[in-house]
Amino acid sequence: MSVSKLKQYWMERKQEKLLRNMEDQQSEYNKIKKSTNVLFNVILTILSLLSVIPFIFVIIISFTDEEALAMNGYRFIPEKWSLYAYEYIVSAGENILRSYGVTILVTVVGTLIGLLLTGTYAYALSRKTYAFRSFFTKVITVPMLFSGGMIANYLVMTKVLMLKNTIWALILPLCMNSFNVIVLRTFFKTSIPDSVVESAKIDGASEWKLFFRIVIPMAMPGLATIGLFLTLGYWNDWFNALMYIDNKDWIPLQFLLMQIQNSIDWLASNKSMMGVDGIQAAANLPKETIKMAIVVISTLPIIFAYPFFQRYFVNGLTIGAVKE
């Protein structure tokens, strides 16, 4: 073996050794100590308990007897259990079932429409080749700073669009949001490479096929986030029902529960006006436990939506990539 080949061999060995040392240093730098890992696990466990325990406490209080709650205060183990708060709410009968159906329908339809409108609007704004991008960016930004006011909204909904006492009065006001559009536009700009869009156009894909076949699978985490925002907004909404709904057939769950709570508060504060029977009836009303029962009834269904969105969060992170 010649001297030049020996020198080249030893230089390659030195480079390999140097690379291994650098990799070892990086792995050592990125490694978490066992004690630090235990500390992080303890902190996260405490934070998780601080988030879960209050809701468990609310559930326990909702099953507590009203008299025992008044005498002994809030306890994790009540002296006496009771289902009276839930029985009082269920006494609304078909009204609460109808309100549940209305809320589920509004939430599902509104979320789908909101995702379609927000997604297409945000995707158009994220493309540099879109000629009117600057104009429509200003159009979506202005409502974040200025509003027409409640009276103007009411007149447009009832006199112009004629949506009073219709299900669309519960859906359309919440389906588009400037903040959601801006968040999703930023997500499209940072997660959808231009090379993917250009490749699809070269292959002859139309804009709709490009959006539904390529963009949506790659942007699933962002869409799931906006979908969660929309779902929570629709499920917890009661103000639009207060403004635009007089027909009891279209009353959503949150508004019905608020009416029940207001009725109990009114009876409790005006019991002296109703005579002896009224005082006795007001004394038997579940004032505190029904508040907790309302929280449970209105919160539990939406909790089941989180695993659905979480699945798309995880799957969306691994979908779509630029091949080299």
Identify the sign of the CA torsion 67, 69, 70, 71.
Answer: positive
Confidence band of 86 (pLDDT split at 50, 70, 90):
confident
**Can you tell me the distance from the alpha carbon of 50 to that of 48, in angstroms, rounded to the nearest whole number?**
5
Range in 8-12, 162-166, 179-183 the model is least confident about: 8-12
Residue 30 predicted with pLDDT over 50: yes
- Higher per-residue confidence, 91 vs 135: 135
pLDDT, position 105: 93
Tokens describing residue 34:
């066992």
Residue 109 predicted with pLDDT over 90: yes
Confidence band of 14 (pLDDT split at 50, 70, 90):
low
Residue 64 predicted with pLDDT over 70: yes
Confidence band of 106 (pLDDT split at 50, 70, 90):
very high
pLDDT, position 322: 40
pLDDT, position 244: 92
Contact 252, 170 (CB under 8 A): yes
Residue 25 predicted with pLDDT over 60: no
**Can you tell me the distance from the alpha carbon of 103 to that of 98, in angstroms, rounded to the nearest whole number?**
9
Instruction: Give me the mean pLDDT over the 99-115 stretch.
Output: 92
Q: What percent of the chain has pLDDT over 90?
A: 13
Distance spanning both ends of the chain, measured CA to CA: 39
| Closest alpha carbon to 186 in 146, 140, 143, 231 | 140
Enumerate helices (H) and strands (E) in the chain, giving the number of each.
Answer: 18, 0
What are the phi and psi torsion angles at 247 (to 5°)? -80, 120
Amino acid at 206: S
Mean pLDDT value across the chain: 80
Contact 55, 76 (CB under 8 A): no
| Closest alpha carbon to 234 in 95, 101, 111 | 111
Residue 171 predicted with pLDDT over 90: yes
Residue 140 predicted with pLDDT over 50: yes
Confidence band of 276 (pLDDT split at 50, 70, 90):
low
Phi-psi region of 163 (alpha: psi -120 to 50; beta: other; left: phi over 0): alpha
Burial of 88 (0-12, 13-18, 19+ CB in 10 A): middle
Confidence band of 108 (pLDDT split at 50, 70, 90):
very high
Stated pTM of the model: 0.74
Confidence band of 293 (pLDDT split at 50, 70, 90):
confident
- pLDDT tens-digit map of 182-214: 888 888 888 888 888 888 888 888 888 888 888
Q: What percent of the chain has pLDDT over 70?
A: 79
| Closest alpha carbon to 185 in 226, 135, 214 | 226
Range in 13-27, 66-80, 198-212 the model is least confident about: 13-27
| Closest alpha carbon to 99 in 309, 248, 277 | 248
Q: At what angle do helices 133-145 and 94-126 cross, to 10 degrees?
A: 140
pLDDT, position 93: 63
